[in-house]
Amino acid sequence: MHLQINTMNELFAKEILSWKYHIPYDFYNSVDTEDNRKELLDGYYYAIENEDGELFGYFCIGESAQVPIGHQVNAYRESCIDMGLGMNPKYVGQGNGFFFCSFILQSIERKYKGVPIRLTVATFNKRAVHLYEKLGFKKKAEFCSDKAQFTTMVRT
């Protein structure tokens, strides 16, 4: 499989906001609002296409990848580059996660050599937690929002 990173644009943003995940991953479903589109177009989100030109997923870096309430419990006090990601539901659960995440990590590590990478995952998402552990991430902080419990994980 060949993946390519592209600048996020209006078309990609609209498609991402239309994605619907099956229970229990419907937690990640979003709504197509002007604010949500603006966030995806803020310059910190990147689209990932496959060799057929289909939107395979996306990732973001920086504060866009953080859960705001995590700041109240100092979950983001360490100096790291934060990453967030989402895979097209069409490709979820088919063994694509390791390749997809590795591709994103390689891109981030090229740009931010030697900087630890942190992500925040919904704790219930055992499948993702297991994948991130396989990729060398270690659990750090835990905190709750009104919607879910979260765990930060860091790869050094």
Encode pLDDT of 44-89 as tens digits: 999 999 999 999 999 999 999 999 999 999 999 999 999 999 999 9
**CATH number, domain containing residue 25:** 3.40.630.30
pLDDT of residue 105: 98
**Average pLDDT value over all residues in the chain:** 97
Q: 104 and 85 in contact (C-beta within 8 Å)?
A: yes
Strand partners, 76: none
Q: 1 pLDDT exceeds 90?
A: no
pLDDT of residue 52: 96
Mean pLDDT of the region 122-151: 96
- E-strand ranges in 51-107 read 55-61, 81-87
pLDDT of residue 57: 99
Total domain count, the chain: 1
CA-to-CA distance for 23 and 29, rounded, in angstroms? 10
pLDDT of residue 126: 96
CA-to-CA distance for 69 and 87, rounded, in angstroms? 24
Please tell me the total number of residues recorded for the chain in this structure: 156
Residues 6+ apart with CB under 8 A from 95: none
State which residues form the domain around 41.
3-155
Q: 130 pLDDT exceeds 90?
A: yes
Q: 147 pLDDT exceeds 90?
A: no
